Amino acid sequence: MDTRFEPTQYLVQAAANVLLACENGQVRRFEVDDWEAVFEAAYRWFRAFGRESLGELAQNAPDSVSAGDKLLREFPDRLAMLVADALTTNSIAPPLHISLAPESLAAPYGAVVFANFPRAVEELAPLLVDGMEEQMRRHTFSGVVAVHDTWMQKDGYPERVLRLDAENDVIIEQGVLNPRKPERILLLLGPGSDEAAWHRRWHDVAGTCGIDVVNPYEFAQIADDKWQTFRIWRNAGVPTPVTLLVPPDTASTAEMCLSLVDRSSAPIVAKPRHGTEGLAATVCNPAETTDPLKVIWERGDDALLQPFTNDLVWVDEAGEDHTAVLRMNVTGKAGGSSRVESGFVHVAARGCGIASVGHQGRLRPILRSALKVRIGGRLAPFPAHLTVQCQACACAAVEAVAAASRKTRLAGVDIVVSAGDDGVPRALALEVNPRPAGLSHSRFLSVGWETEGEPGVSRFMWGE
């Protein structure tokens, strides 16, 4: 059958065409922040006009009409989510087909448990591919599936899964015929309201069911607290920027800021003790910290102050330079050492000191030729030996937290580079994320970062 008339893709495309069309003949454009609005519009369209759209399907693939009609009756919300994903991202993930026929699960297998649907397929796809590669290496392993937390029963048996159909290059969403417990689970894409509590709840469920957790809550509990992480790194000798804790309404913050830097005009970073994506983080002068600190305190959080020590720069295709932060995906097995397998670069928006998608930044593959280090006001090439130092720093950061809690098989470490007063570039660990995001942009690292690697996260963490 022509893939245009596969029921899921046919309905998604029909709704997308309607939402894209403008009265003047122009094509409407949507941004990432439009996801909720697109979802609501697509859902209303499926409810009101979905069945009318099946006419062309009846002419070209009559056997698919009944399936299309059933999708509209049973899964209008999922169809609307797929429309929102399609119109608000430039995803390279395989298309998703909703199958009405349940499938058996073979054990042992791994599962990625997630809570957030928006753009989830884009993030989950590389993990499903990694699981397939592990299945090819270890023939006793049956691959990796993704399970929304509402599809997972409290006894650890999934009722519904997303799985990769590599032969047809599609992701299939379908029910499970004979539920089996996964061998281990990876917890990602938690709810935005309280990811930490969600992580703990599902870690406890897995423990009760005898399921191993790739990224255990004990590790996440420390990693989610930037102040506790800093103290552990400092005691373990992990290179990291000097950090001060600033509880709400702390007096003499200007004096505290000046103690971090050698001059009053040197930039300071103010950021929340908890949180991701650089939200509420600001680069400012020591005398200008009052408002940024109030923003953080009003969120109900402590603030952290650090000197702005990042001299890492990404040079884009137009030759413009941007502040950059390296994301190193550190992986490991239960009894083995950690290693950096993959990563990407957080590239800041032009003129912004915070390299994060939360500040309109972008994610790019790690390529040494595009990286520079600012030394004494000029941009110098990123030295080859620094690639090894950055990876070693990321591994040391994860191992220090694991030593104080429990080993994890996956964590994302943000690394910056500081040239210091002597002009010698050094890697510094900035933060560690126990539920790393941005995985759709992750690439396996080449030796010396000389070439852009293949898409993927880990060939290692699903192993025994």
**Cα angle 211, 332, 147; round to 5:** 40
Of 10-24, 156-170, 209-223, 338-352, the range with the lowest mean pLDDT is 10-24
As a whole-number percent, the residues of the chain with pLDDT over 90 amount to 70
Q: Which residues pair with 343 in a beta bridge?
A: 328, 443
Of 154-163, 257-266, 311-320, 401-410, the range with the lowest mean pLDDT is 257-266
Q: Is the Cβ–Cβ distance between 405 and 359 less than 8 Å? A: no
Closest to 313 (Cα-Cα) out of 304, 305, 321: 321
Q: How confident is the model at residue 257 (pLDDT cuts 50, 70, 90)?
A: low
How far separated are the first and last CA of the chain, in Å rounded?
A: 40
3-state secondary structure of 66: helix
Q: How confident is the model at residue 261 (pLDDT cuts 50, 70, 90)?
A: low
Distance CA 47, CA 44 (A): 5
List domains and CATH numbers for the chain: 3-88 (no CATH), 110-213 (3.40.50), 221-239+309-449 (3.30.470.20), 244-307 (3.30.1490)
Distance CA 36, CA 28 (A): 16
pTM: 0.92
Tell me what the mean pLDDT of segment 212-224 comes to.
97
For residue 115, what pLDDT is reported?
Answer: 95
> Is the predicted pLDDT of residue 252 greater than 70, yes or no?
no
Q: How confident is the model at residue 13 (pLDDT cuts 50, 70, 90)?
A: very high
Distance CA 438, CA 361 (A): 12
Structure tokens at 1: 């059958």
Element housing 112 (H / E): strand 110-114
> Is the predicted pLDDT of residue 217 greater than 90, yes or no?
yes
Report CA Rg, the chain. 24
Closest to 261 (Cα-Cα) out of 291, 281, 286, 231: 286
Structure tokens at 448: 């010396």
Phi first, then psi: give them for residue 239, nearest 5 degrees: -60, 125
> Is the predicted pLDDT of residue 331 greater than 60, yes or no?
yes
User: Using one digit for the tens of pLDDT, what is the confidence trace for 282-318?
Assistant: 898 877 888 888 899 998 999 999 999 999 999 998 8
CB burial class (10 A; 0-12, 13-18, 19+) of residue 295?
middle
CA separation (Å) from 401 to 366, 406, 409, 431, 434? 25, 8, 12, 11, 11
Question: Are β-strands 184-188 and 212-213 bridged in parallel, bridged antiparallel, or unpaired?
Answer: parallel
> Is the predicted pLDDT of residue 91 greater than 70, yes or no?
yes
Structure tokens at 168: 């047809």
For residue 255, what pLDDT is reported?
Answer: 61
> Is the predicted pLDDT of residue 177 greater than 80, yes or no?
yes
Please report how the helices 35-49 and 76-88 are oriented relative to each other, as an axis angle in degrees rounded to 10.
Answer: 140
Q: Which residue has the higher pLDDT, 205 or 357?
A: 205
Tell me what the mean pLDDT of segment 103-125 comes to.
94
Q: How confident is the model at residue 372 (pLDDT cuts 50, 70, 90)?
A: very high
Q: Sign (positive/negative) of CA torsion 370, 373, 374, 380? A: negative
> Is the predicted pLDDT of residue 180 greater than 80, yes or no?
yes
> Is the predicted pLDDT of residue 4 greater than 90, yes or no?
no
> Is the predicted pLDDT of residue 1 greater than 50, yes or no?
no
For residue 376, what pLDDT is reported?
Answer: 86
For residue 254, what pLDDT is reported?
Answer: 55
Q: How confident is the model at residue 192 (pLDDT cuts 50, 70, 90)?
A: confident
What is the tally of helices (H) and strands (E) in the chain?
12, 20
The average confidence (pLDDT) of the chain is 91
Distance CA 434, CA 411 (A): 5
Q: Sign (positive/negative) of CA torsion 62, 66, 68, 69? A: positive
Closest to 169 (Cα-Cα) out of 281, 94, 69, 278: 94
For residue 168, what pLDDT is reported?
Answer: 92
Q: Which residue has the higher pLDDT, 389 or 28?
A: 389
Distance CA 140, CA 365 (A): 33
User: Using one digit for the tens of pLDDT, what is the confidence trace for 339-362?
Assistant: 999 999 999 999 888 888 888 889
